[in-house]
Amino acid sequence: MPLKKIVMHWSAGGHNANSSDKRHYHEIVEGDGDRVGGDHLPEANNSTSDGHYAAHTRAFNTGAIGLSMAAMSGAKERPFSKGKYPITPVQLDVFVEMVAEYADTYNIDITRENVLSHAEVQITHGVKQNGKWDITWLPGMAKPGHPIEVGDHLREMIRAKQVEIFHEDAPIMAGLNMDKFSEKLASHIGEFLKSQKA
């Protein structure tokens, strides 16, 4: 099966990628923003029948890339405690960029079905995950949110990052003459203001 999905995780470990993280994820972002490759290439998950693949999500590894942030060791969902190794802002920023890159490389659309957190897998695809709550908390949140809402927020960040890093390829920008565009925009705004006065 070609790679059609990306599952986003935190490792429930410390801020450094350890050997277990490398076994289970295709790539990991550490607390300081460093990226660490896993033991398996994403293509290893084209098939899982040979036993050589990154096992990151229960019964959901075939055709699925597993990307992770090394964080959240000792964190508790209820009552919430982020523990000593919470996701850091720089780690999240690099992670979002990494997911954007993988989605671009493997031509995966940023949808709820295809690019989702581990916590969304059971809700969106009905594959039981035994209480996994990664990723329902992000830096700045007082407590975990609904998996889909946090997932939607992550997908928004990933889309914005794709526009930022691949803007020259984005269809919306391709062949657009920016001077003409500004001119048009200015005239639209002028007309709008006129219509408001009338």
Q: Are the C-beta atoms of residues 115 and 108 closer than 8 Å to each other? A: yes
Shortest distance in whole angstroms from residue 135 CB to Zn ion: 8
| Dihedral sign for Cα atoms in the order 45, 48, 53, 55 | positive
- Of 9 and 161, nearer to Zn ion (C-beta) is 9
Determine if 15 is a binding residue for Zn ion (CB under 5 A).
no
Interface region with Zn ion, contact rule CB under 5 A, candidates 23-31, 93-101, 133-141, 173-181: 133-141
Nearest residue (CB) to Zn ion, 22 versus 118: 118
Nearer to Zn ion, 129 or 162 (CB): 129
Q: Give whichever of 3 and 54 is closer to Zn ion, judged by the CB atom.
A: 54
In terms of Cα–Cα distance, which of 3, 4, 10 is closest to 119?
10
Q: Which tokens in the block code for residue 114?
A: 């295809």
If binding means CB under 5 A, how many residues of this protein chain bind Zn ion? 3
Residue 134 touching Zn ion (CB under 5 A): yes
Instruction: Give the nearest distance from C-beta 149 to Zn ion in angstroms.
Output: 18
Pick the binder of Zn ion from 24, 40, 118, 155 (CB under 5 A). 118
State the Cα–Cα distance between residues 176 and 181, nearest whole angstrom: 7
Written in H, E and C, the secondary structure of 3-61 is CCEEEEEECCECCCCCHHHHHHCCEEECCCCCEEECCCCHHHHHCCCCCCCCCCCCCCC
Chain centre distance of CA 15: 18
Among 5, 6, 9, 115, binds Zn ion (CB under 5 A): 9
Question: Would you tell me which residues interact with Zn ion (CB under 5 A)?
Answer: 9, 118, 134
